[in-house]
Amino acid sequence: MRPHVILVTGQLLTAEVFAPQVAALSDRYDVSLADQASDETIAGMTERLLAAAPARFDLVGQAMGGFVAFEVLRQAPGRVRSLALLATLAPNDTPAQTKRRQGYIRLVEDGRFDDVVEERIPILVHLARREDEPLLSVVRRMARETGPQTFLRQQRAIMARVDSRPSLGALACPTLIVWGRQDGIATEAHQREMLEAIPGARLEIVEDCGHLATLEKPRTVSRLLAQWLA
């Protein structure tokens, strides 16, 4: 039986965000995408993932997917063979972040979902790619496919998540942290915090890259994941 890799995406993103990595890994691994669209809590997303997963698997969590990954490690640490955390962070929301998310929710409830998508684009991609229409078309397509109701569920799940920092020291599986130098959401301080707290963790910084490293630097991320999983 081939090793199984589960990919967990961030909010407003679909399987397309991992398309380059699925193509790169599928010759050696069984690769599946977790369902991030059906639950209003991180715990619910985690329970759904674990119910569908094999007994042992490698786990790759991107952004919000990292929040799910932390919960997976709390609920079923023995099932995760290795962990990769992409563009994520361990703390729960600050009051300012919660206020911003509440503003997004109001916009969506007022029928302005497209405005939310456009407001987020500058923090999702590197400054030099904010006029990259092929890339931005993928971002907008994933947002459309996610839709406003799923986005609201994801926002509420993120706002209610627990602070994962107290449990980082208990992570026993090998852990890779991947971060784009110009990420507009997860900071270098967030990465260093995880690196110092998770036993034996390794940090890889992707230069000239924003929050969506899997699409902005697909070859680099695919290489890092392939090497890590091997």
Q: pLDDT tens digits, residue range 124-170?
A: 999 999 999 999 999 999 999 999 999 999 999 999 999 999 999 99
pLDDT digits (tens, 9 = 90+) for 79-117: 999 999 999 999 999 999 999 999 999 999 999 999 999
pLDDT at 1: 82
Residue span of the structural domain in which 186 resides = 4-93+158-229
Which two tokens mark 167? 């449990």
- 191 residue type, one letter: Q
**Sheet-wide strand order for 57-62:** 30-33, 4-8, 57-62, 80-86, 175-180, 202-206
pLDDT at 177: 98
Average pLDDT over residues 5-23: 97
- 137 lies in some domain: no
- 108 lies in some domain: no
- 104 lies in some domain: no
CATH number, domain with residue 49? 3.40.50.1820
- 119 lies in some domain: no
* pLDDT exceeds cutoff 90 at 183: yes
Domain total in the chain: 1
- 209 lies in some domain: yes
pLDDT digits (tens, 9 = 90+) for 56-69: 999 999 999 999 99
Confidence of residue 47 (pLDDT cuts 50, 70, 90): very high
Average pLDDT score, the chain: 97
Paired strand residues for 39: none
Q: Determine contact, residues 130/122, Cβ cutoff 8 Å.
A: yes
Paired strand residues for 173: none
Residue 25 burial class via C-beta count within 10 angstroms: exposed 0-12, middle 13-18, buried 19 and up: buried
Give the alpha-carbon dihedral of 48, 52, 57, 60, to 10 degrees: -50
Please report, for residues 161, 221, 227, the alpha-carbon distance to residue 28 in angstroms, rounded to integers and kept in the order given. Answer: 34, 16, 12
Residue where the block lists tokens 């985690």 = 46
Instruction: Identify the DSSP state of 161.
Output: P
- 185 lies in some domain: yes
- 109 lies in some domain: no
Q: Determine contact, residues 45/74, Cβ cutoff 8 Å.
A: no
Residue where the block lists tokens 């998770």 = 198
Which two tokens mark 127? 């400054």
Which two tokens mark 46? 């985690």
- 113 lies in some domain: no
